[in-house]
Homo-oligomer: A and B are copies of this chain.
Amino acid sequence: MQIHHCEHESHKTKNDSKVETLLSRMRERKIRITGPRREIVAVLARAKQPLSSEEIFGLLKKGSTDLVTVYRSLALLEESGVLRRSDFGDGVRRFEVSASSHHHHYVRCRSCGSLEAIGDCSFEQTIARILKKKGYQDVRHSLDVLAICNSCN
């Protein structure tokens, strides 16, 4: 029981510091810190996978924020590089905190929709390097994988 409580506590702390990191990244980029934005990044800091606007909205305190504000906040945070977007071709945009050094991608099951992370991405070392040499600026990418997972097969 006590251990359980401790673990819980440490997770909470870890999330708090993740949120703090995000907020200071926002300050750096001159993005105003507002109530809704604070809540949104808190939800994303806790998330284990990319979330859609609707999903994020559903995880916010009822009545605290509008769905439109979620859309606007996500767009802003993505533009400024605080978040990154995944797109699995189902017409829904999902967002996650963008890790600065490395990041991973996901396989999405076409049948049940489950997500599983794929190992680190080699994109930066390969394609992005070539494109930058060609004169492209601000190169970003999304690699999205669809398949049929073990249990749906």
Contacts and interface: CB of A to CB of B under 8 A. Distances in A.
A83 to B, nearest CB: 13
Q: How many copies does the complex hold?
A: 2
Contacts of A142: 89, 142-144
Contacts of A87: 87, 89, 144
A43 interface: no
A142 to B, nearest CB: 5
A134 interface: yes
Q: Is the interface on chain A under 10, 10 to 19, 20 to 34, or 35 or more residues?
A: 20 to 34
Interface string A54-89: 000000000000000000000000000000010101
Interface string A140-153: 11111111111001
A127 interface: yes
A131 B153 contact: no
Given A142-B89, A143-B142, A144-B87, A150 B131 contact: no
Nearest to A152: B137
Given A89-B93, A118-B131, A131-B107, A140 B146 contact: yes
